[in-house]
Structure formats: C-alpha cells, structure tokens
Copies of this chain bind each other. A is one copy, B any other.
Amino acid sequence: MSVLIVGSTALDSIKTATAENPRLLGGSASHAALAASFFSPVNLVGVVGEDFPPAYRRLYQRHGINLDGLQTKPGRTFHWAGEYERDMNQRRTLKTELGVFADFCPELPAAYRNTPYVLLANIAPALQLHVLAQMNRPRFVAADTMDLWINAARKDLLRLARRVDAFVLNDSESRLLTGEDNLVLALRKIHRFGPRYVIVKKGSHGAVLSGPEGLFLAPAYPLRRVVDPTGAGDSFLGGLMGFLASSRGLLETNLRRAVLHGTVVASFCCEGFGVKRTAALKLADIGRRYGELERMMQF
C-alpha cells in the first residue's frame, strides 16, 4: 500500500571536519520519501522554488515517488546550512533561509486523499493537522516533530498528538515535552496525550517503541564510519512507514520489524552526505544489513 509523506523539501549545505557539500537534496520529506520508496509507493507533499535542481526531481522519480503534490512556487527553495563537529554528535545551524517554505500550505491532490499510510514528517504541527484534515480515514498515521514546535507550538502539537496513531520524537524532545528525565515515565505521559504508539529516537543508541504490547528496545546498527547524520531520523521514519505499508498481519509485530527496517535505512543514510548513500541503495543491501542486525539481537 502507499504512504503519503509531507514535510520539508530543502537544499542542505553541510560542513563536517573533513568536507563541505553545498546544496544537497535535503529536508525531512525528501529523506523520508527516499527511505520509504524501497518498500512502498510514495505520494510526496512539499514545496520547492524555481531554483530546485531538475536532477533532484529526477532522483525522486527514479525512486517511483509521485510528485503530483510537490508544489513549485516562485522564489527560492528552503535552504539550510549546518556544521558538524568532529564527533558528529554536535550540530550547529549556520543558516536557515526559508524561501518558498515560509508560506507553505500543503494541499493534497484528490488522488492522494485515500492514501492508507500517512507520515507527517517534521513541519509545523498546524500544517500536519491541515494535511490530516484533508485525508479520508487513513489506516495509520505517524507524526514526527522537533524541539522548535514543542517550544513554539505546544498547543497545536498536543492537538496533533490526539489524532495520530504514532507520535515520534527524540529523547531530548521527550524530556522537553514532558519535563520528565526518565524515559519510562516520559513515555507514560506522552501516551496520555493520546497516541497509542510512541517512538523515541535515541540516535546511535537506537530507538524505543512503546505501545499496547509494552516496549520494544531497538538497537542502532553499529556503523564503522559516520559521514553525515543529517536526515537519519527522517530516513528511519520513512523506512519504518514504507515497510509498515508493505506488510500484512499483526500491526504490532509489523511495527517492531518496521522499526528495525527504519534503523537499517537510517544507518545507510549516515554513510554518505545528504541522500547520496540512500539514493544508491538496492533493496538487497537493506535485506543484508537487516539480517546482520537480526543476528546481533539474537540470543
């Protein structure tokens, strides 16, 4: 089945200790859409400016991503510039030029409205709600967020939390949202906001899925070398939703496997700048690494 993915579509200029890469394809929706495309058809919703490179559009298309919902507006594409420190855990934003993204209002083509799986990647919660309002009873909705919205749009975010099946955030965001240092207690509080499933991303420490069947503790795939972690969280979620949409059977069993597939795609994402490594992946690469991860969890 298909996944609708809405979020930012951007150009990222990324600097690390060893390299500098200007205007790479980036944004939460781009990373998530590519990651999901290995498992399921993707309907993309986003906005770009007139400067958006045709090569990036072709990259989406090569992955079978439906671009009917990708608006092109007069002006410049959202541009983000950031710098990583040597240990890759610290990131500094150098520039945020919103461009056409400043007035983004996601409008769904009619054919998108029945998409059964919906991934509301990281954008303002008001826009995420606006997308949901246009959908016809989707089967499963996941929403990601970030610290900015917890601080600046908490009310919208809590309205959103009531309307999604899975609410996704990272560990520091879970503390920020709940005021609770302890993960188990933070999860309990987030469930009270409404979502049946909560997924906490912990970067190189893995992820935790919390749901009616309890917790699922997923490790990260141990990488020998991290080139650029930008978009890893979005790739994780894209891979997760793409896999989920392709699965039959029990939701919770599928969700656990989906978390691990998301983990694997996210690990590849970190091995190249922007979407470089992800875009070059074959489904067999994912399967091989999934098998490896499985063996690292067996006892």
The interface of chain A, by Cβ under 8 A from chain B, is 87, 181-185, 202, 205-206, 208, 213-217, 219, 222-226, 253, 256-257, 259-260, 292, 295-299
Contact = CB atoms under 8 A, between A and B. Distances in A.
A299 B219 CA distance: 12
Contact of A296 (B216, B224, B259, B260): B216
A219 B222 contact: no
How many copies are assembled? 2
Contacts of A225: 182
A253 B298 CA distance: 9
Nearest to A210: B222
A202 B223 CA distance: 16
A297 B259 CA distance: 12
Q: Which of A181, A219, A292 has the most CB of B within 10 A?
A: A219
Contacts of A253: 299
Nearest to A221: B217
A103 B205 CA distance: 41
A222 B183 contact: yes
B296 A215 contact: yes
Contacts of A299: 216, 253, 256-257, 259-260, 297
B216 A222 contact: no
A298 B215 CA distance: 10
27 contacts: A182-B224, A182-B225, A182-B226, A183-B222, A184-B222, A184-B223, A184-B224, A202-B205, A205-B205, A206-B217, A208-B222, A213-B295, A214-B292, A214-B296, A215-B222, A216-B296, A217-B219, A217-B222, A217-B296, A217-B297, A219-B219, A253-B299, A256-B298, A257-B299, A259-B299, A260-B299, A297-B299
A182 B215 CA distance: 28
Contact of A295 (B181, B214, B295): B214
Contacts of A215: 222, 296
A285 to B, nearest CB: 18
Nearest to A87: B181
A206 B181 CA distance: 17
A223 B253 CA distance: 24
Contacts of A257: 299
